[in-house]
Amino acid sequence: MDLNQYIRCVPDFPQKGVLFRDITPLLAEHSAYQYAISELVKLVAHEKIDRIAAIESRGFLFGAPIAVACGVGIALIRKKGKLPYATVTKSYELEYGENTLELHSDALIAGERILIVDDVLATGGTAQAAGELVRMLGGEVVGNTFLIELMALNGRERLNTEPVYSLLQY
C-alpha cells in the first residue's frame, strides 16, 4: 500500500514557508491506518522493548497500537501541566519556539528498554527531550519510531546513536 497518498501537504502551516505533512487522511482511512501500524511494528520487531514512551498528542495514536501489538505498556509524554501526578520535566527548543515536556516519575522502571514513538521527526528536539526524560528515570532508549521523517531537517542527528525508524521519508 502506498501510504504517501494519505498524507496531505498543507503549504504555509503553521507559518509561512512551512510545508505541513497532515496525517489526518491516513488516520481517517481504516486500511491505511492499520497498514501503517503493522509496518511500524515490523520496523521494530527485532528490538527487545519493555515499554513504549509516546509523545503527545499524535504520538499516542501510533504508540498505543504499537504497544498493544508488542505486548508492552505505554508511558505518556505530555506537555507541561497535563499530567496529574509527580513528574520529571524537560524544556527544549523546537522549530517554532520553546516547549516543555513531562513524564510521570513512576512511568517506567529503571533499566527498562524504551521505544519512543511520535508521528513526525522534524528537527529532533521533541524526541531528544523525550529521550532525556526517559534517561532521567533510568530507562534505556532503544530507538525512536516515527510515521514520517522530514529528511532535510536532519532530526536523526540530534538523537545520539539511538536507532531511528521511520516509515515515510520526505
Question: 98 catalytic, yes or no?
Answer: no
Report the CATH number that the domain containing residue 153 is assigned in CATH.
3.40.50.2020
Name the catalytic one among 58, 113, 140, 162.
58
Give me the DSSP letters along 67-124: HHHHT-EEEEEEETT--SS-EEEEEEEETTEEEEEEEETTSS-TT-EEEEEEEEESSS
Q: Domain for residue 125, yes or no?
A: yes
pLDDT at residue 122 in the model:
92
Q: Domain for residue 143, yes or no?
A: yes
Q: Domain for residue 2, yes or no?
A: no
Provide the residue-wise pLDDT of the chain in tens; the chain has 170 residues. Answer: 999 999 999 999 988 999 999 999 999 999 999 999 999 999 999 999 999 999 999 999 999 999 999 999 999 999 999 999 999 999 998 666 789 999 999 999 999 999 999 999 999 999 999 999 999 999 999 999 999 999 999 999 999 789 999 999 99
Q: Domain for residue 65, yes or no?
A: yes
Q: Distances from the Cα of 37 to the Cαs of 7, 81, 115, 139, in angstroms?
A: 15, 29, 15, 24
Q: Domain for residue 127, yes or no?
A: yes
Q: Domain for residue 60, yes or no?
A: yes
pLDDT at residue 160 in the model:
77
Name the catalytic one among 39, 95, 132, 140.
95
Residues 106, 97: Cα–Cα separation, whole Å: 29
Q: Domain for residue 11, yes or no?
A: no
Q: What is the pTM of this model?
A: 0.95
Question: 135 catalytic, yes or no?
Answer: no
Q: Domain for residue 33, yes or no?
A: no
Quote the number of domains for the chain. Answer: 1
Domain residue limits at 92 = 48-169
